[in-house]
Structure 1
Amino acid sequence: MALSKGAGHVDAGGTTIHEYATRAGLVFAYTWDGPTSPNLRKLLGERFPTFQSHAVTTDAHARASLHAGRVAQSDFVVEAGGRMRAYVGRAWLPGAVPPGVSIDDLR
Structure 2
Amino acid sequence: MPSRVSRAVLGATLAMSCLFAAVQSAHAVLGGSPMTPPAGASTSSRIVTPVAVMHAASAGASSSTAASSSSYTVHETTFGNGTVVREYLAQNGSVFGIAWHGSQMPHLADLLGTYFPQYVAGVQAMRAAHPGHGPVAVEQSGLVVHSGGHMGAFAGQAWLPQALPEGVSGSDIQ
TM-score by length of 1: 0.82
2:171 corresponds to: 104
Q: In structure 2, how many angstroms separate the alpha carbons of the residues matched to 1:54 and 1:87? A: 19
**Distance apart, 1:75 and its partner CA:** 1.2
Distance 1:41 1:95 in 2: 20
- 1:45 partnered with 2:113: yes
Kindly indicate whether residue 78 of structure 2 is the aligned counterpart of residue 10 of structure 1: yes
The answer for the alignment partner of 1:81 in structure 2 is: 148
User: Percent sequence identity over matched residues?
Assistant: 35
Amino acid in structure 2 at the alignment position of 1:20: Y
Question: Is 1:19 aligned to residue 87 of structure 2?
Answer: yes
The letter for the 2-side match of 1:34 is G
- Runs of 4+ aligned structure 1 residues displaced above 4 Å come to 57-60
Paired positions, count: 102
List alignment gaps of at least 5 residues for structure 2: 1-48, 50-70
* Displacement of 1:49: 1.7
1:29 aligned residue (85, 97, 100):
97
CA distance in 1, matches of 2:140, 2:169: 18
- TM-score, reference length from structure 2: 0.53
Residue type at the aligned position of 2:160: L
Instruction: Choose 1 or 2 for highest CA Rg.
Output: 2
